[in-house]
Amino acid sequence: MANQRPNPNEAFPNPKILSLCYIKNVVKNPRIIIGDYTYYDDVDGADQFEKHVTHFYDFIGDKLIIGKFCSIAKGVEFVMNGANHRMDCATTYPFYIMGGDWGSAIAPVKDELPLKGDTIIGNDVWIGQNVTVMPGVHIGDGAIIGTNSVVAKDIPPYAIAVGNPCRVVRKRFDDELIELLLKLRWWDKSIEEIESLLPLLSCGDLEKVKAELKSIMNPPKIETHKVVKFMVYDRMARKGSSAYSPKSHSAPHFEGHYVEGMEEWASHYCFNKKEDGSYEAELDEAWDEGSHYGGGTINVAIPKEWLDLTYDEFLERVITLAAAEHYGFTTDDLKEKNGLKEFFGFENK
């Protein structure tokens, strides 16, 4: 079945609720930058969001930047820097824009205007009905702005702020959970990852949320073995070629380094590539009945894909396979005996 998730590139994600609009798809001004899944809810025209960005003049060049997954209610107004008047003169009245003879009044240059910079709204922000956001304000990720508020100063992440002037009344969560959420940045993940997180993001048990986020952000360390890529030599390689081994052996080969207990299994071991392209493990002076030494050589075919295993995994499989072939028992027999060490009595050595 095809996935039925909302399309972030459609203006109205739910055709049954036309008051809700993904506004990145309807704004025309390139200086209004809006993230995926951010919506404006207005029964009087959700697709008219751009009308709620006022005093937005090209010659000033400021931007309105809104993150992803924000919820913006009806009646919002983003007042941009063009609304500001000079306050360093005897009057704040803008004679120069009134026309007529007044148009000859000295107009300020851009650097003389009290510009506040870009207005930036973070991700997962909820802005209530009839909120006014003043020029240059920054509202942090996860913040909530209460109805009818006038936001004239920055609001930190995951704060609840209300009033005129808008003030922080409390944090949404404790500092630890806020830090985890800011570190997670779930809104930047793929939509598949976000969907997998929905049960957690929608959970009201904050202690559970905190515990699971810790697990996600700080997974337990798993001890890993260094992967050793075995260099396999060709029996037919000529001296001087990269496939030739200088080892003193009847055929070019690679001798792996010893690991603890290896001397109990075989004095030497190597891995060869045969003329037919297959691979083999060769164990010299392998054990025999009654003695762990002087047993001659065991040759056993090995799958090519084993060369991608870690060193210890490769060695264990090769030795187990060789022992099974030499003695006529199966690898299942070794599993019952807890591996070769117990089988040969090396467990306590």
CA proximity to 269, closest of 225, 330, 311: 311
Give the number of other CB atoms < 10 A from CB of residue 7.
11
Neighbour order of strands in the sheet with 132-133: 53-54, 77-79, 132-133, 150-151
Residue 248 — φ and ψ, nearest 5°? -80, 90
What is the C-alpha to C-alpha distance for residues 328 and 339, in angstroms, rounded to an integer?
15
For 67, the 3-state DSSP assignment is coil
- Give the burial class of 150: count Cβ atoms within 10 A of its Cβ; 0-12 exposed, 13-18 middle, 19 or more buried: middle
Concatenating the DSSP letter of every residue in 192-241 gives: HHHHHHHHHHT-S-HHHHHHHHHHHHSPPP---PPP----PEETTPPTTS
- For residue 127, list its beta bridge partners: 72, 145
Q: Which two tokens stand for residue 183?
A: 């570190």
Q: Which residues of the chain have pLDDT under 70?
A: 1-3, 103-105, 219-304, 306-349
CA dihedral of 234, 235, 238, 244, whole degrees rounded to 10: 50
Residue 241 is predicted with a pLDDT of: 55
Of 186, 181, 187, which Cα lies nearest the Cα of 210? 181
Distance in angstroms (rounded) separating the CA atoms of residues 259 and 316: 11
Q: Tell how far CA 341 is from the center of its chain.
A: 43
Supply the pLDDT for residue 217.
Answer: 83
Residue 48: alpha-carbon gap to chain centroid = 34
> Hey, which residues are catalytic here?
85
Contact 25, 36 (CB under 8 A): no
DSSP code of residue 50? G
Please, where are the H alpha helices in the chain? 175-184, 191-201, 206-217, 311-327, 331-336, 340-344
> For residue range 200-237, what is the model confidence (pLDDT) as tens digits?
999 999 999 999 999 888 766 544 333 333 333 344 44
- The pLDDT of residue 85 is 87
